[in-house]
Amino acid sequence: MLMRCVATIAVVAFLVSPAFAEKLKLNKEQSKIDFVGSKMEDGKKVDHKGGFKEFKVECDANLEAPDQSKLKVEIDTTSMWSDDAKLTDHLKAPDFFDAKKYPKITFEMTGMEGVGSDSPTLIGKLTMLDKTSELRVPCHASLSDSELILEADFKLDRTKWGMNYGKGKINDEVVIKATLHFDR
């Protein structure tokens, strides 16, 4: 438990120190942003997995002042995939992501809670479908001499951004699972 606490403090310190500010490079091969959407079909819950093949991440970690760290994620909605080709086409259509009109989703960190804990929460603004709303992202971070890994597993209410298609049949909450590997 003590080692876990020390590791967490080191990771959070790494993310926030100005004297040790460090621009991190995303390792795209080991990073992913996935989702699981659910709906009711014939009285049974059906899950559909998907994600985004293309995204950019900028991370400036500040070891002394974590709240001054910067993290920006830009997702290319046209790179979306799912476990069903027909569903993928529908998700890219105006009923959902409207990928032709809104080819990007962005998350920009504005703060952090739980500095020094095992699981800090990143606070930021998510812009999707031309609407911006605050998003809180609980995550787990691990740090080594060669890399920083951020892992998040949380629910996002799609209706906050006006994605209302299928309301009542399709679950409003979508599970987001992201793993970002940064080389140091």
CA atoms within 13 A on the CB side of 67: 5
Domain locations in the chain? 2-183
Residue pLDDT, tens place only, 74-130: 999 999 999 999 999 999 999 999 999 999 999 999 999 987 666 889 999 999 999
Examine the pLDDT at 10 and tell me if it is beyond 90: no
User: Average pLDDT, stretch 129-140?
Assistant: 97
Q: Which CATH superfamily does the domain covering 2-183 fall into?
A: Lipid/polyisoprenoid-binding, YceI-like (2.40.128.110)
Q: What is the pLDDT of residues 148-174, one digit of tens each?
A: 899 999 999 999 999 999 999 999 999
For residue 1, name the pLDDT band (cuts at 50, 70, 90): very low
- The predicted pLDDT at position 61 comes to 84
Evaluate if residue 141 carries a pLDDT over 50.
Answer: yes
Residue 98 gets the label, from left (phi > 0), alpha (psi -120 to 50) or beta, of left
Give the integer Cα–Cα distance in Å for 62 and 12: 9
Would the pLDDT of 6 be above 90?
Answer: no
3-state secondary structure of 142: strand
Q: Which residue shows structure tokens 């909605």?
A: 77
Instruction: Specify the 3-state DSSP secondary structure of 69.
Output: coil
- What pLDDT score does 39 carry? 95
Pairing verdict, β 121-128 and 22-26: unpaired
- Identify the helix (H) or strand (E) that includes residue 22: strand 22-26
Q: In this predicted structure, what is the pLDDT of residue 183?
A: 92
pLDDT in tens, 38-52: 999 999 999 999 999
Q: pLDDT category, 63, cuts 50, 70, 90?
A: low
Three-state secondary structure call for residue 71 = strand
